Amino acid sequence: MRHLFVDISAHGLGHLAQTAPILDALHQSTTDLRLTVRSGLAPEKIKARIAAPFEFIAGEPDFGFVMRDALSIDLALSAQRYRERHEAWRHTVARETAFLKGQGVDLVFSNVAYLPLAGAAQAGIPAVAMCSLNWADLFAHYFGKEDWAAAIHADMTSAYASAKAFLRVTPGMPMSTLDRLRIVGPIAQVMAPQRAALAGRLGLSAADRWVLIGLGGIEHRLPVARWPRLPGLVWLVPKHWEVVREDMCSYGQDLSFAELLASADALITKTGYGSFVEASCHGVPILYLPRPDWTEETSLVEWLGHNNRYATLSPAEADSGGFIERLEQIWRANPPPRPSPSGIRQVCDYLAGLLTIGHQAGDQAKEARD
């Protein structure tokens, strides 16, 4: 039995959206795979994305950045937390090393915490990182000029450099300073539209236009009750917003986001890998709220411009709903060819090869001990 230990950042849902299709593909192609998933995300959110059986461990070895809301960072609190976490970095890595050794792991796969990579290196376990961003480059962007930052940044870059590879998914940050960088294609969970079935479950008309609102895993509520009522248009709104209006349909845990997205006519979201790439692979146009000074945004928006119809959404427009004409414009535009989630197979094949090598090495070590 080959044991893959997977660490998924809880900084939003994009890290899970990138990782889940890989794990499902590995499970389908590998008959003797044992999956362990560690994350600070709620288990039900992970199970909604990952169909493969896995053991769950609650844990959060990274925090990325402390967010005020889905669009803005609390830099002061983020700086404080980084300084606290790295005060006893060697001891933290030693604990992680002991933990991973106790798990009997053949391969560590991180999206995109650097602590498990550092622990795996000390434990002699091969490790791989994968993401469209990395915390070291973002840390340098926000704190690189601070006199206390150099040592922390060195810890981060050393941990990332210890991995066998950093698989930078497309689209993604340049990451030109990272060692062992490998570029892979887009990753997205793609589903066939089930519009008629969803219309029956939700009590909607399949002939209407459905606009899905999804801002990721970090709470950011829009004042949708102030938005205009338009004939033939229905807003799909998160259930916990508790909006009651005849043209607004609430969705919750009983329906997966990917299931809704595949049948939607448009998506309102914020800048983010999962929403941008999944919508584009389904041919669903996007209205998005920018994230000021989020360094990943440039790469994501550039890619979006070649692969989907989209428009930016100002805070004022999001407050008032004054974007309907722009929504109509992107509906009238000719859609570009849909991108293919080619990164799934690329990453799956790479990990499968490492799992085989690692498992054989483990068997040989066991035989030597016996």
Q: How far is 239 from 44, CA to CA, in rounded Å?
A: 16
Per-residue model confidence (pLDDT) at position 366: 45
Per-residue model confidence (pLDDT) at position 361: 54
Q: How far is 278 from 262, CA to CA, in rounded Å?
A: 9
| Nearest CA-CA partner of 46 in 82, 8, 88, 91 | 8
What are the structural domain ranges in the chain?
A: 2-187+342-369, 195-332
Residues of the chain with pLDDT under 70: 217-219, 358-370
Question: pTM of the entire structure?
Answer: 0.93
- Top CATH class of 2-187+342-369 equals alpha beta
User: pLDDT of 251-271, one tens digit each?
Assistant: 877 787 888 999 999 999 999
Per-residue model confidence (pLDDT) at position 252: 79
Per-residue model confidence (pLDDT) at position 256: 79
| Nearest CA-CA partner of 134 in 169, 85, 96, 86 | 169
Q: What angle do helix axes 149-161 and 115-123 make, rounded to 10 degrees?
A: 60
Q: Give the chain's mean pLDDT.
A: 93
231-270 as b/e: b if 16+ CB within 10 A: eebbbbbbeeeebeeebbbbbeeebebbbbbbbbbbbbbb
Q: Which CATH architecture has domain 195-332?
A: 3-Layer(aba) Sandwich (3.40)
C-alpha dihedral sign at 8, 14, 19, 24: positive
Contact 27, 58 (CB under 8 A): no
From residue 345, how far is each of 50, 162, 236, 252, 341 by CA, in Å? 16, 24, 32, 30, 8
Please determine whether the domains at 2-187+342-369 and 195-332 fall in the same fold group of CATH. Answer: yes
